[in-house]
Structure 1
Amino acid sequence: MNDRVHRWNDGEDCLVVGSLNDAPFEHGYRLYSERPGDDLWEEIFNTDAQIYGGWNVGNGGGRVRATAGVLDAVLPASGVLVFRRL
């Protein structure tokens, strides 16, 4: 990650993760960067959510802990997730 993908809104840090893979990463995909730090991130948007006609592959709107800059998240196929730092 770099500064070009850093997003924030009224003091909230957001992390946008997209996958163009044709299969989901159901067992997790590790993102390595200093930006996630050692913080807790909450999934606030998933393009694969059932309400949008998707398969509901993701983190269920749950929280994912980043440790030493590593965030391990479930990613849907050809989808986008948005996380908010808590």
Structure 2
Amino acid sequence: MKEPAVYILASQRNGTLYIGVTSNLVKRIYEHKNDLVEGFTKKYAVHTLVYFEPHMSMEAAITREKRLKEWRRAWKIRLIEEQNPNWRDLYFDLV
């Protein structure tokens, strides 16, 4: 069953951020955490799930991901801290 979602990973509080989209959040975050995904998150150790939002369709999730990537960094941090003020790793709430 596909469950489209947009997510934000961080290297640490106020650290490097990564925004992604997936149809299987638990699987995708597992891949990031275990460096099974080559690229940015592996290179910069961006493994902490600090924000996510489910969507009804992949199209909606992709549209939201593109918009978030255009945001200023301060806006992204504010979005994270509104839902997760302590930058807790939300992955463990999902598994």
TM over 0.5: no
Which structure shows the higher strand fraction?
Answer: 1
TM-score, structure 2 length as denominator? Answer: 0.29
Which structure shows the higher helix fraction?
Answer: 2
TM-score, structure 1 length as denominator? Answer: 0.32
